[in-house]
Amino acid sequence: MAVPRNRMSNARKNSRRSHHAKRPKLTAKCPNCDSQKLPHTACSACGHYAGRSYQATREG
35 within domain boundaries? yes
Is the pTM of the predicted complex or chain greater than 0.85? no
Domain with 35, as residue range(s), is 27-54
Number of independent structural domains in the chain:
1
Question: Is residue 60 situated within a structural domain?
Answer: no
Which pLDDT belongs to residue 14?
A: 92
In a domain, 20, yes or no: no
Q: Is residue 39 part of a domain?
A: yes
Residue pLDDT, tens place only, 3-59: 989 999 999 999 998 988 899 999 999 999 999 999 999 998 999 998 888 876 545
Q: Distance (Å, rounded) from C-alpha 51 to C-alpha 1? A: 54
Give the pLDDT confidence score for residue 24 in this predicted structure.
92
Tell whether 38 is covered by a domain.
yes
